[in-house]
Amino acid sequence: MKRYYITTPIYYVNSAPHIGTALTTIVADACARFQKRRGREVYFLTGTDENAPKVHRVAQERGVPTQLFVDEMAEVFERTWSALHIEYDVFIRTTEARHKHVVSEVFRRLREQDDIYRGSYQGWYCISCETFFASNKIDESRTCPDCGKPLEWRDEPCYYFRLSAYESRLREHIKANPQFIQPEVRRNETLGFINEGLQDVAVSRTGSDWGVPVPDDPESGVVYVWFDALLNYLTATGWRERGEGYLDTWPPDLQLMGKDILPRFHATLWPAMLMALGLPLPERLYGHGWWIVNKQKMSKSLGNVYAPLEVAQSLANAAGCELDYAVDAFRYYMLREMPTDADAEFSLEGFEARYNGDLANDLGNLLHRTLSMMHRYFGGRVPDGARLDAGLADLFAQQAAQTTEAFEAVDFPHGLREAWQIIGAVNRYYDEQAPWTLMKQGNAARAGQVLYAGLIAARLLSALVEPVMPKVAREIARQLNLAAVPSWNEAIAVNAFPVGHTLQEPKPIFPRLQVKQPAPSTPTPHAGEEGRAVSAPSPTSHTHQGVSNMQDTITIDDFKRLQIRIATVKAAEPVPKSTKLLKLTLDVGGEERTIVAGIAEDYAPEQVVGKQIPVLVNLQPALIRGIVSEGMMLAADVDGKAVLLHPDREIPSGSGVR
């Protein structure tokens, strides 16, 4: 049976992995794991692009022999990927002899059949992008239209690949195969690029002897690094060496990359090379958007390049969570916020918010509270007669199906939102059914059934999150005392825990992160009654703060006029025609209230349902978009983004805040 072949681009080794290269690799790993869990045999390729002149240049600048430099850097990549829980099947390096043979052979074949011909080149060249630009594509600044770096004038004989001859076949293929280029925006970009007219591509370079020499004509320099690098996908299948054996994997089912290298290289040059060789084309090319940091492209000169392992390690240190789980949390953040069509902002605050919200509060808490109650009420054993309510069984199956569909489409943000609805549903179910009250009322049988829903949900989630957080998935399965994370098909079984099944003691996977707050300037009520809060600024420092600040202070009596209570969100829905507002229905201790909250850009309705939040309940009601809002929720403001605040443990709705 043909293996499902997934590739990342092979990475330039002039610098170490960062969150951009980590994104493509983590997306690919999640796709590979997802396909494996669905029972497919997968062949997952990543590797390093070592023949590039810029790699050679960096080695020279450092005074290191280039081969030694690329050997060391390839190791850095392999170590980083393994620390990020990436499980590839092949790590290809373009300096390997087998790859160089493939490049030479393809070059020769295409030259023999006149798809490669000899000509000469005069034009502007970007050494960083390894690309020539026609004069009409550049302006007076003589800088690269792609990366902005200065261009060099080149005038040299060279070989060309007849890309222009494939223009109409490429266009037809893209039009006839809507799945070939995804997402849609990239397909349109590519068609736009092709419609501008495809020019033949210079496929040899002089100036440096690092790379694959032009076969039978070393005077002409080395093979253009993109022509060389793209062929890695073919080398890794054993094409040429293994006879027909390469068809076990060829053609690729899914080639992943960032948007920058899709239209010009993977969606035109690459398929045209394959057409010239008479080989089947890849099934699907997927180009994700880019991470930006503080609204800017990452760059060394701006100092905003993040190293993935440092980000994970700093979370582990701050939260006191195991590094393996911090790495998984990082993977979760990469995939939950993954730029699909558009670019997306990467920020440590955003990472922390997802960690505390989705992982500590939602996933971690669901498992922890379910296991705690199972231990408290049933000695950690599944009680007699426990089964899943039919309504929930349907909902779980439906959410699992939607997660599957979204993961298949490489839309991880969507898939994870769908999976998290299961958590919201169980939290709501617990609140409605209140197993703690059922126990007090002596209805242990029903309480057992209610908690059974939490067990089934946690088991299902262990499977659904496995492609994203493999170690966390295993830990969930361990705490549930399952031999392994269930396969995708087994995951929705509703009777998965036999009566008497023993559960492990709950152990928090994601200890909550104490997000650093500015020093409080409002005294706590208790300390305030005695005149001064412990952490409030001293009177001396007050005098230094200036008059305007003094006028901003309020008395403890002012503060006491605010009635803040903890409410439980019962329902949430978008306010029609507003992108910012959610309508929340709250339980404020037996009393139902409606409020309108400006959090829709930061939270989906299902993320807030079941949550406990502080609400100012004695605010004058206000009519907002036709809805009477009877109070105001309090949330942290992180660079204009709302971050929900929650009590440290579940408490009765309506509890006061002092």
Q: Is 243 exposed, middle or buried (0-12, 13-18, 19+ CB in 10 A)?
A: exposed
Q: In the bound complex, what is the minimum distance in angstroms from residue 415's beta carbon to ligand MSP?
A: 19
Distance in angstroms (rounded) separating the CA atoms of residues 326 and 619 = 40
Q: In the bound complex, what is the minimum distance in angstroms from residue 32's beta carbon to ligand MSP?
A: 16
- Binding to ligand MSP by CB under 6 A, coded x per residue (else -) over 511-540, reads ------------------------------
Site for ligand MSP (CB under 6 A): which residue of 6, 10, 27, 597? Answer: 10
> Can you name the residues that pair with 205 across neighbouring β-strands?
222
Residues 44-63 within binding reach of ligand MSP (CB under 6 A): 49
Query: Three-class SS of residue 641?
Result: strand
- The answer to the question of residue 23 lying near ligand MSP (CB under 6 A) is yes
* Residue 185 vs 397, nearer CB to ligand MSP: 185
Going from the C-alpha of 245 to that of each of 4, 208, 303, 425, the distances in angstroms are: 15, 36, 47, 49
Site for ligand MSP (CB under 6 A): which residue of 5, 6, 9, 457? Answer: 9
* Residue 23 vs 453, nearer CB to ligand MSP: 23
Contact 388, 456 (CB under 8 A): yes
Q: In the bound complex, what is the minimum distance in angstroms from residue 77's beta carbon to ligand MSP?
A: 10
Q: In the bound complex, what is the minimum distance in angstroms from residue 353's beta carbon to ligand MSP?
A: 20
Distance in angstroms (rounded) separating the CA atoms of residues 632 and 309 = 39
Q: How far is CA 62 from the centre of its chain?
A: 34
Distance in angstroms (rounded) separating the CA atoms of residues 599 and 360 = 20
Lookup result for tokens 């793209």 = 230
Going from the C-alpha of 534 to that of each of 369, 517, 519, 520, 527, the distances in angstroms are: 34, 16, 11, 10, 7
Q: In the bound complex, what is the minimum distance in angstroms from residue 30's beta carbon to ligand MSP?
A: 15
Q: In the bound complex, what is the minimum distance in angstroms from residue 267's beta carbon to ligand MSP?
A: 12
* Residue 162 vs 297, nearer CB to ligand MSP: 297
The residues, any chain, with a CB within 8 Å of residue 451's CB and separated by 6 or more, are: 370, 373, 374, 377, 378, 386, 435
The residues, any chain, with a CB within 8 Å of residue 603's CB and separated by 6 or more, are: 582, 642, 644
* Residue 133 vs 290, nearer CB to ligand MSP: 290
> Can you name the residues that pair with 296 across neighbouring β-strands?
293
> Can you count the helices (H) and strands (E) in the chain?
23, 24
Q: Which stretch binds ligand MSP (CB under 6 A): 17-25, 72-80, 578-586, 648-656?
A: 17-25
Q: Which stretch binds ligand MSP (CB under 6 A): 10-18, 70-78, 392-400, 612-620?
A: 10-18
Site for ligand MSP (CB under 6 A): which residue of 4, 24, 144, 406? Answer: 24
Q: In the bound complex, what is the minimum distance in angstroms from residue 9's beta carbon to ligand MSP?
A: 3
Q: In the bound complex, what is the minimum distance in angstroms from residue 314's beta carbon to ligand MSP?
A: 19
Residue number of the CB closest to ligand MSP reads 258
- The answer to the question of residue 181 lying near ligand MSP (CB under 6 A) is no
Distance in angstroms (rounded) separating the CA atoms of residues 505 and 512 = 19
* Residue 258 vs 271, nearer CB to ligand MSP: 258
* Residue 343 vs 389, nearer CB to ligand MSP: 343
Site for ligand MSP (CB under 6 A): which residue of 4, 5, 21, 308? Answer: 21
Q: In the bound complex, what is the minimum distance in angstroms from residue 21's beta carbon to ligand MSP?
A: 4
Contact 485, 472 (CB under 8 A): no
* Residue 74 vs 230, nearer CB to ligand MSP: 230
Residues 210-239 within binding reach of ligand MSP (CB under 6 A): 229-230
Name the residue among 465, 313, 338 with its Cα closest to residue 413: 338
Q: In the bound complex, what is the minimum distance in angstroms from residue 49's beta carbon to ligand MSP?
A: 4
Q: In the bound complex, what is the minimum distance in angstroms from residue 294's beta carbon to ligand MSP?
A: 13
The residues, any chain, with a CB within 8 Å of residue 447's CB and separated by 6 or more, are: 373, 377, 435, 436, 438, 439
Q: Tell me how far apart the terminal alpha carbons of the chain are, to the nearest angstrom.
A: 65
* Residue 266 vs 368, nearer CB to ligand MSP: 266
Q: In the bound complex, what is the minimum distance in angstroms from residue 80's beta carbon to ligand MSP?
A: 13
Site for ligand MSP (CB under 6 A): which residue of 5, 12, 224, 306? Answer: 12
Q: In the bound complex, what is the minimum distance in angstroms from residue 344's beta carbon to ligand MSP?
A: 9
Q: In the bound complex, what is the minimum distance in angstroms from residue 489's beta carbon to ligand MSP?
A: 32
Distance in angstroms (rounded) separating the CA atoms of residues 267 and 577 = 38
- Binding to ligand MSP by CB under 6 A, coded x per residue (else -) over 341-360, reads --------------------
H/E element, 174: helix 167-176
Cβ neighbours of 142 (radius 10 Å)? 12
Distance in angstroms (rounded) separating the CA atoms of residues 654 and 565 = 5
Query: 294-302: which pairs have CB atoms within 8 A and are 24 or more residues apart?
Result: 294/345, 294/347, 295/345, 298/18, 298/19, 298/20, 300/15
- Binding to ligand MSP by CB under 6 A, coded x per residue (else -) over 250-289, reads -------xx-xx----------------------------
Name the residue among 353, 324, 331 with its Cα closest to residue 509: 324
Cβ neighbours of 8 (radius 10 Å)? 26
Name the residue type at position 133.
F
Q: In the bound complex, what is the minimum distance in angstroms from residue 18's beta carbon to ligand MSP?
A: 7
Q: In the bound complex, what is the minimum distance in angstroms from residue 318's beta carbon to ligand MSP?
A: 24
Give the strand pairing for 564-574 and 612-616. antiparallel
How many chain residues interact with ligand MSP (CB under 6 A)? 18
Name the residue among 658, 638, 641, 649 with its Cα closest to residue 517: 638
Task: Give the DSSP letter of residue 502.
Answer: B
* Residue 252 vs 631, nearer CB to ligand MSP: 252
- Binding to ligand MSP by CB under 6 A, coded x per residue (else -) over 289-308, reads -xx------x----------
- Binding to ligand MSP by CB under 6 A, coded x per residue (else -) over 460-499, reads ----------------------------------------
**Ramachandran class of 97: left when φ > 0, alpha when ψ lies in -120 to 50, beta otherwise:** alpha
Name the residue among 348, 296, 341 with its Cα closest to residue 319: 348
* Residue 11 vs 420, nearer CB to ligand MSP: 11
Contact 496, 459 (CB under 8 A): yes
* Residue 252 vs 454, nearer CB to ligand MSP: 252
Q: In the bound complex, what is the minimum distance in angstroms from residue 290's beta carbon to ligand MSP?
A: 4
Q: Which stretch binds ligand MSP (CB under 6 A): 20-28, 490-498, 530-538, 607-615?
A: 20-28
* Residue 18 vs 37, nearer CB to ligand MSP: 18
Site for ligand MSP (CB under 6 A): which residue of 4, 6, 20, 485? Answer: 20
Residues lying near ligand MSP in the complex (CB under 6 A) are found at: 9-12, 20-21, 23-24, 49, 229-230, 257-258, 260-261, 290-291, 298
